[in-house]
Amino acid sequence: MDEFERAFERFESQMERLLQDILTRQRWLLRHGNAWRPPTDVYETDEAVVVRVEIAGLRPEDVMVALHDRWLVISGYRHDPTPKVAYHQLEIHYGEFHVEIYLPWALDADAAQAVYRDGFLIVTLPKKPPLTITVRTPRRLPVTKTEANP
């Protein structure tokens, strides 16, 4: 593969990611216009895909984690502990939050785990082992000549 083909593949991959991001955001805004989206990291190890969401100030029962087809959906509600006062600076989000993450990997949903610790929700989704396909070369059968019709 030459340099041009590699560059084109990188471009194509980036465009696919951009389009997926745009479609995901549009769908999210239509469904959850008033919800906020917490900072989220998605990274891959050899064994799993890990999603880390920064949502301090919650109780585990305030968070819902669900898998729908190839989408991980994390949502919940963060209550404002402050009585209604006149704010001078307001940067912390309260109320409903919602995150949808597309998961293109083959994952073992039954082994997924979600842990909330130190203000972070960490969802670990183990990868399924790769499928092994045995490819056999065709076996050539000898053809014999016979005098009689079958």
User: CA 70, CA 65: separation in Å to the nearest integer?
Assistant: 13
Q: Which of these, 67, 30, 24, 37, lies nearest to 49 by C-alpha position?
A: 67
Q: For 102-141, what is each residue's pLDDT tens digit?
A: 999 899 999 999 999 999 999 999 999 888 888 888 888 8
* Position 74 in a domain: yes
Do 72 and 50 belong to one domain?
A: yes
Do 48 and 120 belong to one domain?
A: yes
Q: For 39-48, what is each residue's pLDDT tens digit?
A: 999 999 999 9
In this structure, what CATH number is given to the domain that contains residue 56?
2.60.40.790
- Contacts of residues 83-91 at CB distance under 8 Å and 24 or more positions apart, as own/partner, are none
pLDDT at 139: 86
Do 22 and 91 belong to one domain?
A: no
Do 20 and 40 belong to one domain?
A: no
pLDDT bucket at 6, cuts 50 / 70 / 90: confident
Do 23 and 88 belong to one domain?
A: no
Structural domain span for residue 24: 1-31
* Position 150 in a domain: no
Mean pLDDT of the chain: 87
Number of domains in the chain: 2
